[in-house]
Structure 1
């Protein structure tokens, strides 16, 4: 477990208290039932921005606090525990592209609005059902971008798109002419829009390294893993509490040794997941090579999150399959996050290639 500073501990505790009191799972049910394309409550996100969360990874010179990626991960973990819907992770990933590769003019134009919560940003990379940056077909000619991006997280509400096309990353104003948004319904009821760019004005991010897209994807993967850590941790706690009070065959389920062994194994898996996720966040904060740490964090989160969410449903029995109970929300969100920015097979293959295998 990472050693937190006093300020990080305070941030984590504030996020935990706020999510439990102001954004419990019942709040997500209301968002789900409202069935809005954006998939989150704008007022709730405004409150997050007022608390400074939207600017955690944005430099102070551009309106943020520059509090670091581990700090943002702590917040996302708490949001994951209550399945709180927000564009915080997607916006931070997109904003990192501007921080890493934007000109001073681009930073001044976009980052303060992101840090204040005024603007939602989205990272648009994939063009098919599976994550594969090597197959990008979007093109840019004479400053005009054309192409279609699939399953863009928070694409329905985005006021800024960071788009992978041609030979780099491009900034596209969400209000520009030539953008068509099509809502897509995924099992987690969040925004995963298909975005079509038809000759839209685009500005290239020129200041980054050749590996700018990979650097941004590293951040997106670790942020997804941080939310998955929160989902897995809460799934474990909820399942354990259920086993301690559910009586079957005249005995409390938690007294069955077979179930004790399963829960002990899951606890160990989640602790390994935490180590991998926190190492990924710390690697970004340290400014070193983030590639392998990010791939490992997301791969471990995929692996453990898949098992924990499945076990949550199974160990709850029939009630776990009902909409009246919360278990399904964790399973559905976990499955979508598993697929984002690389499934387990893709990530393992990339990690092996970087390791020389």
Structure 2
């Protein structure tokens, strides 16, 4: 399969680029940060996303969506990354939509997917419990109680968890931390008794939450998929999320690169633009090459997710690891080429550096995925 967008995908990219560039440039993030906005994103922009069909890209047509694939969702994620837009798109339109589409019962899909597609329901995936992404190390327990379960434990780094109308929670119904078997996914109302949610504004001014579950009752209808068999579903959903975050990091790298090149053209020293100095030209050219190679690797992973998700893990690991390294290089080069002023809040390049660092950790950093790839290949 050619590593280029189709005509329809290119049209979607242009549509997303025009909307986001106009409605939510980096100054939009700065305004939300400086105003201490309680939500942390624009609900008006989210409704526009829904009207444009972005919220339902991964939702089937029978539920009001477009029934498209990961490549199309990645196109939107790249534009989100290019402009550093705080948005529940990843948590709701990608992770939650895929989890429900892949494992939800007919009743669960009918209840939630149409509302995700029209933008009226926000959701969040609660997996990680520590400072690092280790989904198999889930310790949170789900104990049988009556016709359902009681959830007890803590979740951290729940992306956009503070505004969610629905939580998809990974808990252990059997086995021990580190085992694939024994994980179960639950649909939980965040207003249920025993849930405490603490918003945590991250270093990049985006949103996450810590969530405490204190003997939270969930009935049997809240089980997503099969009891004890949620590990496979979770891994598939996480791989889709990893591909989406890799796309966002390509956008972050591209955004940082574009601002850096503009600065090289504008900043003058010794009577000429600093972009005329050959050393900086070489560094910019090398960065451009790295971004384009990473873009191809990420697109390959998304295509694999759309055509054969069961065998896409290695392509996703390569894409996520490489995207993290490339985004890190892009923001570091950007700050250095801006000089000391690049570290000040007056320049937007610092926002890109912070977002790249958070995305690097989200769903596994480069080291995590290098280790995953090595294990898959028998090392």
Shorter-normalised TM range: over 0.9
Match of 1:278 in 2: 299
Specify the SS of the correspondent of 2:204.
coil
Query: Which moves more between the two structures, 87-96 or 36-45?
Result: 36-45
1:163 aligns with 2:169: yes
1:315 aligns with 2:337: yes
Residues 266-290 of structure 1, C-alpha deviation per residue, up to 9 Å, x if partnerless?
Answer: 0111011101111111111113412
CA distance in 2, matches of 1:210, 1:326: 40
Match of 1:260 in 2: 281
Of the three residues 108, 124, 128, the one matched with 2:126 is 124
CA distance in 1, matches of 2:121, 2:243: 22
Of the three residues 84, 99, 102, the one matched with 2:101 is 99
Q: What does 1:1-357 align with in structure 2 at a 5 Å threshold?
A: 2-91=3-92, 92-142=94-144, 143-166=149-172, 167-202=183-218, 203-206=222-225, 211-288=232-309, 289-357=311-379
Gaps of 5+ in 1: none
TM-score, length-normalised on structure 1? 0.96
Residues 50-108 of structure 1, C-alpha deviation per residue, up to 9 Å, x if partnerless?
Answer: 11101101111122111211011111111211111101011111221111111111111
Q: Is the 8 A contact 2:29 2:205 kept in 1?
A: no
Residues 293-333 of structure 1, C-alpha deviation per residue, up to 9 Å, x if partnerless?
Answer: 11111101111111111111111012212212111111111
Specify the SS of the correspondent of 1:296.
helix
1:37 to partner: Cα distance = 4.2
Q: Is the 8 A contact 1:74 1:226 kept in 2?
A: yes
Q: Is the 8 A contact 1:37 1:191 kept in 2?
A: no
Moved over 3 A (4+): 207-210
Relative to structure 1, the CA distance from residue 37 to residue 127 in structure 2 (aligned partners, 3 Å threshold; closer, same or farther) is: farther
CA distance in 2, matches of 1:28, 1:85: 7
1:254 to partner: Cα distance = 1.2
How many residue pairs match? The answer is 357
